[in-house]
């Protein structure tokens, strides 16, 4: 099992993701460069957090044109696993690999803190080791994390059970108070119809170490490892 | 009346957004592009006396819509409801 | 191009005095032309030359066994073992932030980051110290939201976490806010880069953003003859930060520094190309030759004067090894940045600048770099100083309801939770943040080691106003006490000295007293000052700001598992106070916020006692017997108790404090006696804690127990901690509400 973490110009959490997955969780992980179309045989691609190209025009708008992204699109089309965290989620939406868009937080300010999310689906490659309905603690840090989609898209996402994680309160209820950015239906992360492309705003990579206060994020990377392992055996 | 307000970075002020966008356009092969500037476009309905509207809009721009230290503004006044 | 000699009038317009101008003409043996005058006027400005402060700053202790780099470089460096050094500095960006709060604060963050990564250090944490006017001033909310958004906008996008800082409100800053930014980086000790040019013939490279007409020093320029016919668009403009480019610059510079190509490197900060080339040449005792035609420019028809004095952001000057030019260019190409050879190192110890084939500057380096006069400015205490220190407590009524007093103090903008501010900053990026904002000190681990660094920035400017000597001393020891409460040994100081106009004797008196205070406190705690910045001419409503010597302290935690936080951890733990409480209310937040009195003398400071209290606390934390440790500061014992109950990430805990006041109850609860630390410990560890305290001759009092969900203090206070938390947590957001927030640019 091998992860590949893409570095775009302006990516910030790329090195942190490599460190967390490789050195803390203990799964082989290599960096990928935005100008390089070669994916070096990775099993899962991570599009990390940060501000690709400064995100001045729209978050993720320029990153989707990077050479590496054409390989990512082909990889996803052939069923490869792709996970986008924060800016990575924004890039996946801009690239059309996930529906909807991420716009400015309702508060109009950047928001950094701890969020609770409920795992709505434990049968995806990204959440297989989670309990369905489990409430995880994960950090968030974004200025444009408000998930929006038109009515029919939103209905389709809910009907197809494509919402994987949702912002909830301590009791697991998706309340307005638990929603840090105004996302529709408290959506924190979604998966594509094929079930192999996943994006979410919270930073799993910053929640892998007890010393740093949170460790629920490691579940996502372990789930992927376990899924890939089973695929290989099959 | 329908007012259209354009707010842009002042000439000479560094525009990181414009710079990054220009670089993106070049990367996509639009090499003919240069001096990209990113601003805001604001439209609004304005009631009241048409003779005052220019002065009022100017005040709005100076007090809130534009940051005079780094931005210029420009506005047009047209017929109500017409974009 | 007008290269004829200038006259004295033009020199005065550039801010030089007649004597300074005459002195410079004599030093170079002729009259300068306008470009040369521009160069000397910025090099001899207070900002670059430290002409009013230099003589006084000599007193500060700068040596120590851990010091790898003291003042005089881009930033200071202190060894943390394992072959690593902590590189850090704090710097002001006050005036630009008042004019354009978002960009002023943003470029302040950008500048201090460059000072640190220029040394070869990867920045791992930012702090900031902010001072605003009172909330009844019409501009305060606008400035607060702009500055906070700017600090966040830059730091978040450049990928360095903002892990702490301080923010205070005082009418004394109504028209002159303070924005002081601090950066900490980590470097291998044997890979520190310095700004000392050497190697005759080595190429000088310009890297980073293009040069525009940003921040060229204002009015004098416009008045000068060269600009008589110019139009509006030639006016100098506000500096705008581009954190995306800065991020690329960080990665490119650090990658380049892994190779053997860089001889010297310096940020083009204040006075841009001029000061960076002059200072690099001066340190290396060489000359430098620059061709302005080769400088990448953002705008057309820029004059040599403008190019030399531009303060465009995100630019660096590199002296490379001859033959390594292509290596440099290749690294910068990888990161989509410009790297252009614009000149070379020469042996003539002169700054020679060419434009269009014409020599526009030919000046000796030495008088530019340190020819500015060193002033011994006159000083005298303000006439009202003695009166300000008079305080009669008999005139201060004792509160009728202490619950209400505590609640009002927790809602004071100077005490309330800073979460509204910190939640706008990325605190996680880098993956090292062990203790986030909200405890006495932030803690960041050092990857690849067992170690961590604790960081705190502090200054109580009310104390400094009432007694600048004691106030500055208190700033040092309190910042140190904060990192001790996190379990760290203080190892280095950087200071940002914000004062009024040094030509006013009372300001110079404040400055001298403050420096003495910093000196004595640093000597007592064996703390070197390794970097810093002086910001004079901070005046509001025609008066100097309260003297504000902001102190940042870096502390070392040898084993990160033994770090400590300020909030209570366990039901049933004992609550213990180290240090003594005196009847001291002068300069307190209690008097200011609840009685409207800013008078008296600040709390007494005994440096020997302080040192002992810190030693005892650190010893106990290192032995692993302390559950929480919290420095007592604004609001005194009652506020510290409340904070330990409510500031943690989980459900608040209550406390039952049995002890009765032995002095005036309001002084006992809210007085700010120094050298006190509030702790909680398991009861089984009390005996050992008593031993440690006794060894250091530190007074220890058992106050009570962590228990339940109410804070009870004798018969004076009895409140639900959830109510206290709500008041404390929502106050700043409420004060900021209803504000038309400026768009993030």
pLDDT in tens, C292-321: 999 999 988 899 999 999 999 999 999 999
Q: Which of C99, C213, C740 lies at the smallest CB-CB distance from B64?
A: C740
Contact residues on chain C for A139, CB-CB shorter than 8 A: 428
Q: Which of C154, C114, C120 shows the shortest CA–CA distance to C269?
A: C114
Counted domains in chain A: 1
Q: What is the mean pLDDT of residues C10-27?
A: 94
CA pair distance C102, C354, nearest whole angstrom: 36
pLDDT in tens, A182-209: 999 999 999 999 999 999 999 999 999 9
Say what the pLDDT of residue C740 is: 39
Q: Which domain holds residue B62?
A: 2-78
CA pair distance C695, C451, nearest whole angstrom: 27
CA distance B12 to chain C (A): 7
- Say yes or no to pLDDT of C344 above 60: yes
Chain-chain contact of B17 with A56 (C-beta, under 8 angstroms) = yes
Q: Which residues of A touch B (CB under 8 A)?
A: 53-54, 56-57, 61-62, 65
pLDDT in tens, C419-431: 999 999 999 999 9
Chain-chain contact of A53 with B38 (C-beta, under 8 angstroms) = no
Counted domains in chain B: 1
**For residue A149, what are the CA distances in angstroms to A61, A107, C381, C520?**
17, 19, 66, 62
Say what the pLDDT of residue C743 is: 35
Say what the pLDDT of residue C217 is: 64
Cα-Cα end-to-end distance for chain B: 11
Residue B17 lies inside a defined structural domain of this protein: yes
CA pair distance C596, C585, nearest whole angstrom: 13
Distance from chain centroid for Cα C322: 37
Q: What is the mean pLDDT of residues A80-95?
A: 96
The token pair at C99 is 């004019």
- A40 is a catalytic site residue: no
- Say yes or no to pLDDT of C223 above 80: no
What is the ipTM metric for this complex?
A: 0.96
- C93 is a catalytic site residue: yes
CA pair distance C604, C600, nearest whole angstrom: 11
Q: Which domain holds residue A21?
A: 2-233
Q: What is the mean pLDDT of residues C577-606?
A: 96
Chain-chain contact of C245 with B16 (C-beta, under 8 angstroms) = yes
Q: Domain of A35: which CATH number?
A: 3.40.50.880
- Say yes or no to pLDDT of C382 above 90: yes
Chain-chain contact of A51 with C436 (C-beta, under 8 angstroms) = no
Residue B15 lies inside a defined structural domain of this protein: yes
The three-class DSSP label of residue C346 is strand
Q: Domain of B70: which CATH number?
A: 3.30.1280.10
Of the listed A34, A142, A203, A206, which one is catalytic? Answer: A203
Chain C interface disruption, residue of B9, B13, B14, B73, most C CBs within 10 A? B14
With bands split at pLDDT 50, 70 and 90, how would you rate the model's confidence at C218? very low
Of the listed C14, C93, C217, C685, which one is catalytic? Answer: C93
Q: Between vectors from CA C164 to CA C161 and to CA C167, what angle results, nearest 5°? A: 130
Q: What is the mean pLDDT of residues C571-597?
A: 96
Q: Which of C577, C563, C580, C579 shows the shortest CA–CA distance to C678?
A: C577
Cβ-proximal residues to C548 (8 Å cutoff; 6+ apart), any chain: C131, C178, C459, C461, C464, C497, C498, C499, C538
CA pair distance A199, C347, nearest whole angstrom: 59
- A28 is a catalytic site residue: no
Cβ-proximal residues to A212 (8 Å cutoff; 6+ apart), any chain: A206, C428, C431, C432, C433, C434
Residue C263 contacts residue C321 (beta carbons within 8 Å): yes
- Say yes or no to pLDDT of C610 above 50: yes
Beta-bridge partners for A160: none
Q: What is the mean pLDDT of residues A151-165?
A: 97
Residue B83 lies inside a defined structural domain of this protein: no
């Amino acid at each position: 099992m091998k992860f590949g973490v893409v570095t775009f110009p302006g990516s910030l959490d790329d090195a942190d993701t490599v460190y967390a997955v490789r050195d803390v969780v203990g799964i082989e992980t290599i960096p990928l460069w935005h100008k390089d179309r070669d994916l070096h045989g990775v099993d899962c691609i991570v599009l990390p957090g940060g501000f690709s190209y400064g995100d001045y025009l729209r978050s993720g708008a320029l990153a989707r044109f990077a050479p590496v992204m054409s390989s990512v699109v082909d990889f996803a089309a052939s069923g490869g696993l792709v996970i986008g965290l924060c800016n990575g989620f924004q890039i996946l939406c801009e690239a059309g690999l996930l529906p909807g868009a991420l716009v400015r937080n309702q508060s109009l300010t950047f928001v950094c803190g701890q969020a609770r999310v409920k795992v709505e689906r434990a049968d995806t490659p990204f959440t297989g080791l989670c309990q369905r309905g489990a409430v995880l603690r994960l950090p968030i840090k974004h200025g444009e994390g408000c998930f929006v989609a038109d009515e029919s898209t939103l209905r389709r996402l809910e009907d197809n059970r494509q919402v994987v994680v949702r912002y909830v309160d301590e009791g697991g209820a998706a309340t307005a108070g638990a929603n840090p950015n105004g996302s529709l239906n408290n959506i924190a992360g979604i998966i594509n119809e094929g079930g192999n492309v996943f994006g979410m705003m919270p930073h799993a990579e910053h929640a892998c170490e007890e010393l740093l206060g949170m460790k629920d994020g490691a579940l996502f990377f372990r789930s992927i490892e376990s899924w890939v392992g089973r695929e290989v055996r099959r | 009346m329908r007012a259209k307000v354009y707010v842009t970075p002042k000439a000479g002020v560094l525009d990181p957004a414009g710079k990054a966008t220009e670089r993106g356009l070049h990367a996509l092969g639009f090499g003919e592009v240069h001096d990209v500037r990113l601003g805001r476009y604001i439209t609004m309905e304005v009631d009241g006396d048409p003779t005052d509207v220019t002065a009022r809009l100017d005040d709005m721009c100076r007090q809130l819509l534009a940051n005079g230290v780094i931005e210029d503004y420009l506005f047009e006044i047209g017929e109500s409801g017409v974009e | 191009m007008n290269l004829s000699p200038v006259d004295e009038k033009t020199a005065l317009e550039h801010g030089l005095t007649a004597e300074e101008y005459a002195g410079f003409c004599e030093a170079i043996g002729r009259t300068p032309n306008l470009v040369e005058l521009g160069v000397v006027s910025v090099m001899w400005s207070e900002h670059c030359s430290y002409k009013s402060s230099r003589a006084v700053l000599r007193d500060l202790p700068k040596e120590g066994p851990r010091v790898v780099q003291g003042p005089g470089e881009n930033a200071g460096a202190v060894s943390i073992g394992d072959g690593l050094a902590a590189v850090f500095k704090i710097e002001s960006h006050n005036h630009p932030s008042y004019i354009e709060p978002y960009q002023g604060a943003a470029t302040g963050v950008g500048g201090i980051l460059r000072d640190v990564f220029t040394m070869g250090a990867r920045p791992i944490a930012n702090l900031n110290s902010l001072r605003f006017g009172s909330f009844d001033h019409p501009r305060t909310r606008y400035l607060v939201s702009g500055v906070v958004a700017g600090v966040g906008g830059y730091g978040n996008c450049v990928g360095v976490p903002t892990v702490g800082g301080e923010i205070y409100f005082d009418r004394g800053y109504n028209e002159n806010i303070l924005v002081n930014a601090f950066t900490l980086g980590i470097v291998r000790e044997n890979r520190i880069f310095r700004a000392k040019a050497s190697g005759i013939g080595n190429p000088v490279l310009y890297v980073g953003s293009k040069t525009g007409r940003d921040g060229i020093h204002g009015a004098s320029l416009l008045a000068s003859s060269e600009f008589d016919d110019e139009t509006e668009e030639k006016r100098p403009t506000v500096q705008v930060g581009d954190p995306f480019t800065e991020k690329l610059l960080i990665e490119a510079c650090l990658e380049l520094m892994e190779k053997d190509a860089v001889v010297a490197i310096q940020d083009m900060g204040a006075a841009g190309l001029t000061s960076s080339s002059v200072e690099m040449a001066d340190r290396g005792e060489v000359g430098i030759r620059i061709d302005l035609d080769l400088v990448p420019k953002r705008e057309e028809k820029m004059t040599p004067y403008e190019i030399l004095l531009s303060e465009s952001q995100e630019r660096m000057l590199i002296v490379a090894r001859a033959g390594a030019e292509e290596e440099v260019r290749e690294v910068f190409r990888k990161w989509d940045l410009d790297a252009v050879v614009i000149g070379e190192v020469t042996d003539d110890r002169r700054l020679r600048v060419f434009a269009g084939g014409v020599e526009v500057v030919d000046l000796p380096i030495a008088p530019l770099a340190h020819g500015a006069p060193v002033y011994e400015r006159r000083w005298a205490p303000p006439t009202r100083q003695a009166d300000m220190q008079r305080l009669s407590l008999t005139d201060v009524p004792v509160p009728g309801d202490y619950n209400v007093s505590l609640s009002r103090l927790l809602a004071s903008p100077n005490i309330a939770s800073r979460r509204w501010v910190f939640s706008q900053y990325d605190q996680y990026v880098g993956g090292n943040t062990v203790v986030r904002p909200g405890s006495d000190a932030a803690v960041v681990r050092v990857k690849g080691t067992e170690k961590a660094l604790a960081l705190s920035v502090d200054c109580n400017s009310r104390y400094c106003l009432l007694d600048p000597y004691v106030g500055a001393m208190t700033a040092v020891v309190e910042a140190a006490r904060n990192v001790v409460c996190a379990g760290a040994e203080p190892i280095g100081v950087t200071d940002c000295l914000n004062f009024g106009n040094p030509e006013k004797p009372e300001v110079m008196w404040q400055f001298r007293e403050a420096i003495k205070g910093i000196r004595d406190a640093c000597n007592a705690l064996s703390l070197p000052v390794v970097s810093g910045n002086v910001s004079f001419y901070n005046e509001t409503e025609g008066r100097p700001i309260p003297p504000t010597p902001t102190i940042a302290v870096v502390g070392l935690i040898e084993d990160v598992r033994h770090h400590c936080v300020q909030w209570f951890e366990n039901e049933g733990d004992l609550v213990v106070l180290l240090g003594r409480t005196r009847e001291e209310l002068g300069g307190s937040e209690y008097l200011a916020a609840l009685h409207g009195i800013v008078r008296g003398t600040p709390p007494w400071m005994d440096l020997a006692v302080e040192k002992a209290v810190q030693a005892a606390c650190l010893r106990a934390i290192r032995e692993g017997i302390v559950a929480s440790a919290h420095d007592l500061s604004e609001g005194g014992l009652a506020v510290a108790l409340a904070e330990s109950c409510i500031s943690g990430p989980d459900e608040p805990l209550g406390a039952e404090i049995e002890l009765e006041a032995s002095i005036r109850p309001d002084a006992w609860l809210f007085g700010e006696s120094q050298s006190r630390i509030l702790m909680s410990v398991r009861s089984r560890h009390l005996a050992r804690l008593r031993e440690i305290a006794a060894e250091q001759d530190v007074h220890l009092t058992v106050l009570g127990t962590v228990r339940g969900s109410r804070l009870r203090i004798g018969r004076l206070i009895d409140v639900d901690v959830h109510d206290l938390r709500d008041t404390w947590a929502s106050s700043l957001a409420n004060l900021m509400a209803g504000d038309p927030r400026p768009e993030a640019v």
